[in-house]
Chains A and B, each alone.
Chain A
Amino acid sequence: MPEPIMETRELTRYFGGLAAVHGVSVACNVGELHAVIGPNGAGKSTLINLLSGDLPSSSGSVHLRGHNVTGLRSDRISRRGVGRSYQKTNVFLPFTVFDNCRLAAQSRLPSSMRFFKPAAAYRAVSSAAVRALTMAGLEGREGAIVASLSHGEQRQVEIAMTLATSPVVLLLDEPLAGMGAEESARMVDLLRKLTKDHAILLVEHDMDAVFAVADRLTVMVNGQVLESGSPAQIRASRAVQEAYLGVDDV
């Protein structure tokens, strides 16, 4: 098996005395969608925040392409090809859809310390923005102010911005949350398409979607990894049934 593009080793994060993430080792490979599931408060979002550099870890390490990137701030992690989306929509509400994506694409220029040439004159940036928003299904909505969009469309903007930074690793925190059935189905299609040339770590509550797209599953409970394996293995696991999946059936 090739070396994973991004992995954590014994990653731990305490909030006060609580171990939100405790000794977690996960790996992502290009061409693979790795889904992390678990009940609320299992530490899934914290795990993403640790991987993206939004939160510093308490111990353990994060590796990207074989380099130790533990403790790097989020902007540095992003520049190394890791894009993330947020569970709670985190975009630029007063800007248009296009400007949100353009700003995201602009982040890939070596520097934005350019004071004179108008931003609109950077053609490559604009076309990267259009590509991303088209992929996320927002074509025709370029000029709309994001604050005026529906919740589902704002979720699409969130994804489009993440894609506009042309990442290799995608960390997606509940991209389907709050989406209607049709939007969800489209997102699932998009995830499948993206999996081909990206490494995706997906945190999601929608179990049907997760089992439809995941190549590998990790189940977290109380900040720790309970089980990790293929969807079939997870479905068959007794520990998982007891701790999590079975809950619905009881």
Chain B
Amino acid sequence: MIVCLLALALLPFIADKFTVQLVTKMMIMAIFAMSLDLLVGYTGLVSLGHAAFFGISGYILALLTPQYQAANFWVSLPLAVAGAGVLALAIGCLVLRVTGVYFIMVTLAFAQMLHYLFHDTRIAGGSDGMYIYLRPDAGIFGLRPFDLEKFGDFYFVVFALFIAVFLFLRVVLRSLFGQVISGVHVNEGRMRSLGFPTFRYKLASFVLSGMLAGIAGYLSAVQFGVVNPDMLGWHLSGSVLMMVILGGMGSLVGPILGAFAMMLLELGFQSLTKHWQLPMGLAIVLVALLLPRGLVGLASLRSRSKEAVDA
């Protein structure tokens, strides 16, 4: 793991621009996947509408950015994340009243409502989306610690946030709150009879997860300089859910592996064939069949076979 981190930290000094930008995108998706795993893997709530929070945050940045000026990074990021949180609070209050398959359907429905709101009205360019011509300016108190227009600087900002989100979730999962959501995941009824008002904790998890998705959405909007309704669509919600499942639910490394693996696979198959989605689908089916715990299952598989050899 330390090797991976070191490689990520040194990458901009050794790799070309294309690779650096690709890895930037991967880390953004890894943040997104980690945020969903808090919900799916740890709280036991399978959402198929997580792109809503990713997208709304990007849209907030686009709407905050004046046409020929840059928005301020230190203002726009917190606002975008808070906006995603408020949206998650509103949607969460409604969708958390149902469970199981209904929860999946209702989260999907809300995300699609939002998708069509941006698609079919003239808010932020309708179906064409909206450009962000200038990346946010990182100026604060007359200082400018980094310049997001430089791809190397942007890489390190994403890298720092990626690490921060990972560490934040690690701490949260060990806290009292983390224990409660794991309990809810395993046996919600018993949590209630132990005296935990479970709705509140599920809602907090939903909001937290939405806000972290907002960080990813903001960064994605910065990277591509454009937002469009697809950022809120079910296609993206499905992709990120697949990353979580592919990598392994209920671990923090899992979604990261899932995000990296899925984007590498996508790239690999795209270079081979125009119909890259077919082998992609097969690859995911194979992982699901052979590694029910996802790619993180590989590590424990290896240690188990090692134990077998030692014994």
The answer to whether A and B assemble together is yes
Residues of A within 8 A of B (CB): 52-54, 73-76, 78-79, 84, 86, 90-95, 99, 102-104, 106-109, 112-120, 122, 161, 165
| B residues in contact with A122, CB < 8 Å | 176
Complex formed: what's the CA distance from A115 to B168 in Å? 9
Residues of B within 8 A of A79 (CB): 195
Complex Cα–Cα for A52 and B177 (A): 24
Which residues on A sit within 8 Å (CB–CB) of B200? 113
Within 8 A of A (CB), among B182-234: 182-183, 186-187, 189-198, 200-201, 204
Interchain CA distance A39-B174 in the complex, whole Å: 46
Residues in chain A near residue B178, CB distance under 8 A: 115, 119
Instruction: Say yes or no: B176 contacts A106, CB within 8 Å.
Output: yes
Residue pairs across A and B with Cβ atoms less than 8 A apart, 10 shown, are A78-B194, A90-B187, A92-B187, A95-B186, A108-B195, A112-B196, A113-B177, A116-B171, A119-B178, A119-B179
CB distance from A233 to the nearest CB of B (A): 33
> Which residue in chain B gives the minimum CB-CB distance to A117?
B175
Categorize the interface residue count of chain B.
Answer: 20 to 34
Do A78 and B174 have beta carbons less than 8 Å apart? no
Q: A114 vs B181: C-alpha distance in the bound complex, in angstroms?
A: 12
Check if A75 sits within 8 Å of B204, measured CB to CB. no
Q: Binding site of B, secondary structure by majority: helix, strand, loop or mixed? A: helix
Given A75-B198, A78-B192, A116-B171, 16 extra CB contacts under 8 A: A75-B195, A79-B195, A84-B193, A91-B190, A92-B186, A94-B186, A95-B186, A99-B179, A104-B194, A112-B176, A114-B175, A114-B177, A115-B171, A117-B175, A120-B174, A165-B195
In-complex Cβ contact of A90 among B176, B182, B189 (8 A): B189
CB distance from A231 to the nearest CB of B (A): 30
Q: In whole Å, how far is B189's beta carbon from the nearest beta carbon of chain A?
A: 7
Query: B204 to A113, Cβ gap below 8 A?
Result: yes
Min Cβ gap A242→B in Å is 36
| B194 in complex: contacting residue of A107, A113, A120, CB < 8 Å | A107
Chain B residues lying within 8 Å of A115, measured Cβ to Cβ, are 171-172, 175, 177-178
A106 engages B189 (CB within 8 Å):
no
Closest B residue by C-beta to A164: B194
Q: In the bound complex, do residue B193 and residue A103 qualify as a contact, i.e. CB atoms below 8 Å apart?
A: no
A73, A79, A107, A165, most chain B CB atoms within 10 A: A107
Q: In the bound complex, how far is the Cα of B60 from the Cα of A180, in angstroms?
A: 63
B194 to chain A: closest residue by CB = A107
Q: Which residues of A contact B172 (CB under 8 A)?
A: 115-116
Complex Cα–Cα for A109 and B204 (A): 18
How far does the alpha carbon of A55 sit from the alpha carbon of B193 in the complex, in Å? Answer: 11
Contact residue among A54, A93, A107 (Cβ-Cβ distance under 8 Å from B195): A107
A75 contact from B179, B186, B193, Cβ within 8 A: B193
Asked if B257 is at the interface (CB within 8 A of a chain A CB), the reply is: no
Residues of B within 8 A of A54 (CB): 189, 193
A75 touches B197 (CB 8 A): yes
Report B-chain residues with C-beta under 8 Å of the C-beta of A99: 179
B180 at the interface (CB under 8 A from A): yes
**Min CB gap B51→A, angstroms:** 25
